Amino acid sequence: MPILISIFVISIVLYLYFKVRIFNYKNPLYMQYTNGKARIALGVFMATFGMNQYVAYPTQIVLYLTIVFLAVGIAQIVFGFKIFKHYRQEILKVEQTAN
Q: Inter-axis angle of helices 2-22 and 28-56, to 10 degrees?
A: 160
| Residue 66, pLDDT score | 93
Instruction: Please list the alpha-helical segments (H only) found in 27-59.
Output: 28-56
Q: How far apart are CA 17 and CA 84, in angstroms?
A: 16
| Residue 2, pLDDT score | 83
Q: State pTM to two decimals.
A: 0.89
pLDDT tens column, 13-64: 999 999 999 999 898 899 999 999 999 999 999 999 999 998 888 899 999 9
What count of other Cβ atoms lies within 10 Å of the Cβ of residue 61? Answer: 8
Q: Which residue has the higher pLDDT, 8 or 46?
A: 46
| Residue 34, pLDDT score | 94
Q: Is there a contact between 76 and 43 (Cβ–Cβ < 8 Å)? A: yes
